[in-house]
Amino acid sequence: MLRTPRVAAATVDARCASVASADAHLVHRTAGGDLHAFEQLYRAYHPRLTRFLERLTRRPGLVGELLNDTMLVVWNRAGTYNGRCQVSTWIFAIAYRKAMKALQRWDEPVGDAAADEDRAPPDAEPEQQLAQSQLRALLSGALEGLSAEQRAVVALTYLHGVGYREIAEIVGCPVDTVKTRMFYARRRLKALLGDQLGDWL
């Protein structure tokens, strides 16, 4: 049965609202010391936080620790979540602050090409694996040329589909700053990638 875009959008909205409500419920239970609820929340956010922190920090070896630092704050401060923003916004804001603090402390350059090469799906064809690996290396190199703040905006937008207003809440800056960071990040990426992007697609 075909659905109109409006019906489809309403369905997606309803699903998102349902997920947001479920997340809020889990946070509420976590605030009461429910470890089972916390672990559900952990498993739900682990993949998203991993991608975000990898993209933001460019330090794969640091991601697991930062992720757990973030979730430890969620466990300890679940009672302070007031429901004014989405749970995802709250958790990503914690992760962002943790990552930025860590980046201030850890100043050495990191480029873990080996970790990148391990990420191709195991069932992918060899040629496809090679193309994906080269594409990731290309993109990874280009992202290295951005500031951490720009990478955060790029990651939240490109990987997680977060709107610019919510990004402004997560990184704690005005909406126009988010747009500006994206504008200059795009320009930088375009200069670094040039026409190479099209060659792989």
Residues making contact with another protein (CB under 8 A): 30-36, 39-40, 42-43, 46-47, 50-51, 54, 60, 64, 67-68, 71-72, 75-80, 115, 118-121, 132, 135-136, 138-140, 147, 149-150, 154, 157-159, 161-164, 172-174, 176-177, 179-184, 186, 189-190, 193, 197-198, 200-201
Nearer to another protein, 31 or 102 (CB): 31
The first and second tokens of residue 124, run together, are 């992918």
Nearer to another protein, 88 or 157 (CB): 157
Nearer to another protein, 106 or 183 (CB): 183
Provide the minimum distance between the beta carbon of 74 and another protein in the complex, in angstroms, as a whole number. 9
Nearer to another protein, 105 or 163 (CB): 163
Dist CA 154 CA 84 (whole Å): 24
Q: Give yes or no for a contact between 67 and 46, defined as CB atoms under 8 angstroms apart.
A: yes
Dist CA 167 CA 154 (whole Å): 10
Provide the minimum distance between the beta carbon of 84 and another protein in the complex, in angstroms, as a whole number. 16
Give the DSSP letter string of 90-141: HHHHHHHHHHHHHHHH--S----HHHHHTTS-TTS-HHHHHHHHHHHHHHHH
Q: Where are the beta strands (DSSP E) in the chain?
A: none
List C-alpha distances in Å: 108 to 42, 96, 104. Answer: 29, 19, 10
Provide the minimum distance between the beta carbon of 185 and another protein in the complex, in angstroms, as a whole number. 9
Provide the minimum distance between the beta carbon of 129 and another protein in the complex, in angstroms, as a whole number. 11
Nearer to another protein, 25 or 186 (CB): 186
